[in-house]
Amino acid sequence: MDTGAYYFPLDDDARGYLPSDSVKTIEPAIVTNIAFDDEGGWVGQAATNLWPLKTGNCGWTGTTVSNSKISIVGDLRQELYKDGTVTRVHSTLGASNSLSIVSGANYTISAYYRDVDGNSISPSQFKLVKSTGGTAIAMTDIRSVIPAIKEQWQRGIRSATYSEAVTAWPYIDWSALPSMTSRFCGMMLEAKPFASAWCYDTRGAGVLAFNLHESCGLNWNEDYTIMYWKRPHGTHDGTASTGHSIDSIGRNSNTVGGGYRYWGKLSGDTLYGFPGTMKTIDDYTKYQYGWHLHVLRRSGTTLTLRVYGIGVDGLFLSQDVDDSTAVNDDRYVTQNGYDLQLGGWDAGNPCNTYYRDLVVLPGVAMTNDELDKLYRRKLQLRTTGYESSINNLVEGLI
């Protein structure tokens, strides 16, 4: 039986996969510079990695450290494993590779790592050290994101404000690691407080948009339910206090359908939701690097945004706005031919975010109880029988 559900998985392994006969796959209207991997579809801004700057062994040196190329997301990722207790730093490969650290600026070091003996590894050993003398630069406002799973390749992240204007190198203190079998790869340094998806050098700004009116017959002046998982890694400009991380139907300069809506982190460092009805995020750090279920539902003339999984394991906010102005079936279709965009207004302002498991139900306004149960069942859809456990959506698990 056709339940009328439409689905797009937004990950590398399952892209285009049809979970069951009762689900139709939605094809994007625009896919530009999107990095699909096992975590989901990465929609991010153009960013330059400060490190790595070299191919080959990426600057690692020393007789007690072994480098070997491994096939994890392309051929440019290098594995580095501990072969002793000596502290390892990146070698000074010349003045052209000096990193000019700005005093008072925020830098984020991230790397994939694992320990085959099952020991927990902390990114607390990720530092910047002076290229002359090798001493660590003093840090404030330190924030670490530590993966919870052992014996797997996963990503650790450490962000801090550095207090000196010097040249420096990324650094890992091997002597603090618990065993002889710690392995690292994909180290990246960025000049912002959030970690982007791993890439070797740069990536262009991304666009991910759909035309739901055309592809699955969704009429914007009738009932519908749209839901997706979102994992933010920052904002459109890489700042916490002023940057935004939004999704939208239509866009501000729309001249075709005549309308637009947008929602998410709109301004400031603690506000989230529809404009005018935003809710304070008590701990903003819990918003970053966590998977959240977003639901956009129209019932009658009321448009509701429900967001699950921020701060506590459950509903974070539920906000209603009057949607009686959506008088046309194609109210939100833009002059560019799409009506739903995940990751910002346009190619110039995309947020650094993973998206996963977009589901659209035209003509169906799911109840709050149904949505609550769906979240608790971790996206085991009543309409499709397809299950994607949020417990498997751990960024960095590769």
**Whole-prediction pTM value?**
0.83
Structural contact between residues 33 and 206, judged by C-beta atoms closer than 8 angstroms? yes
Residue extents of the structural domains in the chain: 5-46+204-392, 49-197
Structural contact between residues 206 and 42, judged by C-beta atoms closer than 8 angstroms? yes
Alpha-carbon dihedral sign for residues 31, 33, 37, 43: negative
For tokens 């390749």, the residue is 153
The count of other CB atoms within 10 Å of the CB of residue 292 is 20
> Residue 384's Cα: distance from chain center in Å?
26
For tokens 């959030």, the residue is 194
What tens digit of pLDDT does each residue of 188-239 get?
Answer: 888 888 888 777 667 788 889 999 999 999 999 999 999 999 988 888 888 8
**Secondary-structure breakdown of the chain: helix, strand, coil percentages, each rounded to the nearest 5:** 5, 40, 55
Please determine whether the domains at 5-46+204-392 and 49-197 fall in the same fold group of CATH.
Answer: yes
Architecture of the domain defined by 5-46+204-392: Sandwich (2.60)
Structural contact between residues 283 and 311, judged by C-beta atoms closer than 8 angstroms? yes
The CATH number that domain 49-197 falls under is: 2.60.120
Under-50 pLDDT residues of the chain = 1-2, 16-19, 54-78, 87, 89-96, 379-398
What tens digit of pLDDT does each residue of 245-304 get?
Answer: 999 998 766 677 778 899 998 877 678 899 888 888 766 666 788 788 999 999 999 999
With b for 16 or more beta-carbon neighbours within 10 A and e for fewer, the 93-104 pattern comes to eeeebbbebeee
Q: Two tokens at 203?
A: 């990536």
